[in-house]
A and B are shown apart, each in its own frame.
Chain A
Amino acid sequence: MYDAREQQNVSITPVDVSLLNTAVNIMNSASNPAQQFNGIIYFTDVSPDNTERAFRLENGSMLPTASVPVDSPNNVRGFSVASDAGIYIRGDYNTYAGAAPVPSAVLADAVMILSNAWNDANAANPLYGVDNPASPGNIIAGSARAATATTVNTAIMAGTIPTNYVNPNTGVTYGPSGGAHNFPRFLENWTGVPFNFTGSMVQLFTSAIFTGAWTTGNIYAPPIRNWSCNQDFVKHPCPGVFCFSSYSRGAWRRY
């Protein structure tokens, strides 16, 4: 799949979350609690070449989760996905209408949001569509990377590319990081389209693999951001996610 920000084809491994539900249900039927799903899945890709690699969470409306009650003492209810690679979230995530969203986290080198309308065939097309040679001044219908309304309910813990980052491979100095509102990365024309997000955002490090520079231009046009913090994380943290008990004040750093 072509990633306009990374300026290259990214090797994608799709992860059909709806199929994981089936697997988790089987695990949860085990009588021994130690054999039941602990809410955490870790993905890595050890392919030897240098292609940028990522996992893409698809059909994630309903997330698999441990079968324990929501207030169980060990807090394993929920679903956390972690990877040393990038993770794309494609379409609605953790929005199952039949139940409240479960505690969810996505941890990765970088997290990219693809809308419900994402189409791989258009990934390398201009953001606003391909010129129609038969009709100068117009674009070919359906060739734009046009987003549709999408809802994601999850914590995101990932890397970012800070302002004035110097790419170690090319020596090129980047401009602005895009700010916190571009922590989840976009690749579509979201003009006038809502991206609904309830969760939390934690920036852990400078991205090591997904080092494309932030710009808008041909990469994305911003959504209507309907964003809020999921305060339920205080009571029900995501599986496997660390909780800190103390903190210290550090130096101010602009990202």
Chain B
Amino acid sequence: MHKITSFAAMLALCATARALDLTPQYVDMDADGLRIKLPSFQDGAKRVFIMPPAGWRIEGSSLRAFLSSDTAPGANVTFLLSPKPMLPKDEAGQKSVGAALLALAEKDSENVKLEAEQPDPLPINGWKTYLLRISYDIAGTRYAKSVMFVRLNDCEELQVFVSGPATQFTKATSAAMTCLRTWHKK
């Protein structure tokens, strides 16, 4: 009974605590003497700022932001504000999300491989994180796709998808990680 009450209380708390909106807005900032425009997201009364690498543009809506660049053709990064937490808590959960990611390989793809499963790849900000990466072939070209679950707090979870040709994947992954590592609230 106590657990049910706690869970209900958590749901009620989360209903009001979910404040992050991934619609990007560019804000003029003074960066130690340099005037720059930074993408930011509304988060309650504060704003979350990120600093994507040069040449990466971001667009999106309340639940989804999309990052791409001409310097990484065919690759992209998607930040998805997850409606329900999916960060695996145990081995069964890891298997479940692994299977889900494998199913995300494009239709008609071959040699689909689960390349990496990494608990806590981003040990910053008190976040809990989990990373999965797959690779596969389509028409003779190697592709890769990854998802990182980022538990921002008790109520909010980001899913960060990176996908693209293997030749561009490292660049796109680096862009995604840079956004997450420069993520700060003011």
Q: Which residues of A contact B (CB under 8 A)?
A: 2, 4, 7, 9, 124-128, 130-131, 133, 136-137, 164, 167, 169-176, 178-179, 181-182, 213, 215-219, 222
Tell me, in angstroms, the Cα distance from A131 to B127 when the chains sit together. 11
Tell me, in angstroms, the Cα distance from A125 to B181 when the chains sit together. 10
Contact with A along B35-66 (1 / 0, CB 8 A): 01010000011100111011100000000000
Contact with A along B127-153 (1 / 0, CB 8 A): 000000000000000000000000001
Among B26-34, B77-85, B158-166, the one that faces the other chain is B26-34
Q: Are A217 and B184 in contact (CB under 8 A)?
A: yes
Q: Kindly list chain B residues whose C-beta atoms are within 8 Å of the C-beta of A172.
A: 53, 71, 171, 174-175, 178
Q: Kindly list chain B residues whose C-beta atoms are within 8 Å of the C-beta of A176.
A: 34
Also in contact, A170 and B182, with CB within 8 A (given A2-B123, A124-B124):
no
Query: From residue A221, how far is it (CB to closest CB) to chain B in Å?
Result: 8
- Among B31, B32, B125, B154, the one with the most A-chain Cβ atoms within 10 Å of its Cβ is B32
The answer to whether B7 has its CB under 8 Å from any CB of chain A is: no
Q: Kindly list chain B residues whose C-beta atoms are within 8 Å of the C-beta of A181.
A: 32-33
The answer to whether B186 has its CB under 8 Å from any CB of chain A is: yes
Chain B interface size range: 35 or more
Q: Kindly list chain A residues whose C-beta atoms are within 8 Å of the C-beta of B174.
A: 167, 170-172
Q: Which residues of B contact A (CB under 8 A)?
A: 17, 29, 31-34, 36, 38, 44-46, 49-51, 53-55, 71-72, 123-126, 153-154, 170-171, 173-175, 177-178, 181-186
Which B residue's beta carbon lies closest to that of A125?
A: B125
Tell me, in angstroms, the Cα distance from A242 to B103 when the chains sit together. 62
Q: Kindly list chain B residues whose C-beta atoms are within 8 Å of the C-beta of A167.
A: 174
Q: Are B184 and A126 in contact (CB under 8 A)?
A: yes
**Which of A169, A173, A216 lies in contact with B53, CB distance below 8 A?**
A173
**Which of A7, A169, A216 lies in contact with B31, CB distance below 8 A?**
A216
Tell me, in angstroms, the Cα distance from A222 to B32 when the chains sit together. 6
